[in-house]
Structure 1
């Protein structure tokens, strides 16, 4: 691991130097080099990490929605991607048009996948749970469902309800999904939402967004299972940028997590 960390650090420094450090378009940076060895994906706008680097982790994944278009899932798997979170629903009346196709194709490529719901604050937790259940199949070998909790920028739902209402409705949503799918949902959240609503008080499994600092610095003391570290990832088989994530553990711990969480 130390050798790999040194190689990654060198590659990142070289890539940033090639970018010139100023304006203009930055070239993608590879995670590791070497024919057929390790991950082959990268980042079109790499961050100079302090306090820990996502490339120190060995298990990487993507999260996607319809904006990724057509995906070559075999290429994605062969690049070193180990899991995929796929957008399924939003609010109480929107379903991602590519969800069912991605859900099937990822399974065919033998990539563990889970579905996520973008939570709105203009519908009750019960309404949104019913909508998610209507669109996401309950099946074996699926990762836990995810509730995406962040302040929305939607013109149709600009509400920012008080924290007690946020937590009440989100709890209703996750409890209904837990009963239906037999798995406790994972909580995805952002820095401002986490702080504004005291999500650290929840004894849940977290997927944290942190694209400009290590989660141990940005979310001090918070345990997490997944870390979304960039929105400008580049992965063979996907055109354009894609969100990249890591699992906060070793490959052996990842296998144990899958054995415990796949239903």
Structure 2
């Protein structure tokens, strides 16, 4: 064979090799790591199998629910502060707690003394957790946001954090009731600062009277967590969209002494897994 034909044959062989598709499968994610977007049906099934759905907890002051009950929602969780004391997070998770919101800060100078214990304990037990800030109307939003950031570490696995806004008529230091426009502007400022720092916009928790009095539901691009302990949110907050519903403040959960707030996520298991960053 002439040199020319040898050269042509070599070029064709190289081109053929370069066009082949590798048969080596991409590596699987490490055990314990969340499955990334683009997950297979099998990985979704595995993630869902880890959930305990439709749990029904005790209540020291139960409400006679009509219509759609809290237990018709599959994903339940708690919010806690120093008043719950030490928590057996593994027992709580085994009972069906899928998420927990932990009080971190209040105003611009108070930090919950149990926050770090709760933050670490929930993580060790595999409970999805986020932190919340209780807002006071006697300090600027920017100051309160900095206070929260000082106490709550960045964690890519955490839930979006929460701004708790409600009237404070029983406070010994701050009973101000600013106008709705002022409150909405302050809320927006707080949410913007936390979103810039943590990379995800916080959820806003509120109560029936505060929602009605301030027009806080007009905030754009904000997900809401609504308290409604005597009726479904579609009755208490007509037309409102919500991500979480707090349905009682007197719940009883294994692993927690005394009463605790109980909540549901407004969606099914797959939506929960996606929203919480588990798949």
Could you state the TM-score of these two structures normalised by the residue count of structure 1?
Answer: 0.83
Rounded to whole Å, the distance in 1 between the matches of 2:241 and 2:67 is 16
**What is the aligned counterpart of 1:133 among 149, 164, 167?**
149
SS at structure 2 position matched to 1:129 = helix
Could you list the runs of 5+ residues in structure 1 that have no partner in the other structure?
1-35
- List structure 1 segments (4+ residues) > 3 angstroms apart after TM superposition: none
- Give CA-to-partner distance per residue, 1:119-162, whole Å, 9 cap, x none: 00000000000100000001120001100010012120011111
Q: CA deviation at 1:37?
A: 9.2
Residue 74 in structure 1 maps to residue 98 in structure 2:
no
Residue 208 in structure 1 maps to residue 222 in structure 2:
no
Q: CA deviation at 1:175?
A: 0.5
Q: CA deviation at 1:49?
A: 1.5
Q: CA deviation at 1:50?
A: 2.5
Residue 248 in structure 1 maps to residue 266 in structure 2:
yes
Name the residue aligned to 2:240.
Answer: 222
Structure 1 residues 182-197: aligned runs within 5 Å: 182-197=199-214
Q: CA deviation at 1:163?
A: 1.2
Q: CA deviation at 1:51?
A: 3.2
**What is the aligned counterpart of 1:155 among 156, 165, 172?**
172
Q: CA deviation at 1:39?
A: 2.4
Rounded to whole Å, the distance in 1 between the matches of 2:211 and 2:269 is 28
Would the aligned equivalents of 2:78 and 2:262 in 1 still touch at CA under 8 Å? Answer: yes
Would the aligned equivalents of 2:166 and 2:207 in 1 still touch at CA under 8 Å? Answer: yes
Could you list the runs of 5+ residues in structure 2 that have no partner in the other structure?
1-51
Residue 237 in structure 1 maps to residue 255 in structure 2:
yes
Rounded to whole Å, the distance in 2 between the matches of 1:173 and 1:135 is 15
Name the residue aligned to 1:26.
Answer: none
> What's the C-alpha RMSD, in Å, of the aligned pairs?
1.5
**How many corresponding residue pairs?**
226
SS at structure 1 position matched to 2:248 = strand
Would the aligned equivalents of 1:57 and 1:246 in 2 still touch at CA under 8 Å? Answer: yes
Name the residue aligned to 1:25.
Answer: none
SS at structure 2 position matched to 1:259 = coil
Name the residue aligned to 1:175.
Answer: 192
Worse overlay, 251-260 or 107-116: 251-260
